[in-house]
Amino acid sequence: MKRHTLIIAALLGTALLTGMTPAGADQQRVFGFTGEVNYYNRGEGSLVVDDLLFQISESTLVHKKRGAKGTLSDISPGTRIGFYPGSGTSRYLSEVWILPKNWQAEPGFAETPEN
């Protein structure tokens, strides 16, 4: 009987751990910048986030929740995103993460960008 209880406890523990999704881990991620897309022109490669202009290209990687791969088509005005801005004055984004609407972080730069 103890063995049966131990097996059930192990299965329940595994189920609870499986229920913990990477989306929860994403909520703990700290990006260099988070904000809402105001404007996006794929042809120009221009992306305005919280009134700041950034550049993207067809090689920019897009990540969705739970580690799913996204595409540039997933980005539109109103989409919340997070990313790590380039160093110095570079505003090119090599990767962006599409964030859930309930994202907790403060929008804008996590730290003052280099000029």
pLDDT tens column, 55-102: 999 999 999 988 899 999 999 999 999 999 877 778 999 999 999 888
Question: What integer pLDDT is reported at residue 113 of this predicted model?
Answer: 46
Q: How far is CA 75 from CA 21, 42, 65, in A?
A: 23, 9, 14
User: Does pLDDT of 16 surpass 70?
Assistant: no
Domains of the chain: 26-109 (2.40.50.320)
Overall pTM surpassing 0.75 (yes/no):
no
Answer for the pair 14, 44: CB distance below 8 angstroms, yes or no: no
Give the tens place of pLDDT for each residue, 19-29: 333 444 455 57
34-63 mean pLDDT:
95
Cβ pair 14, 83 in contact under 8 A: no
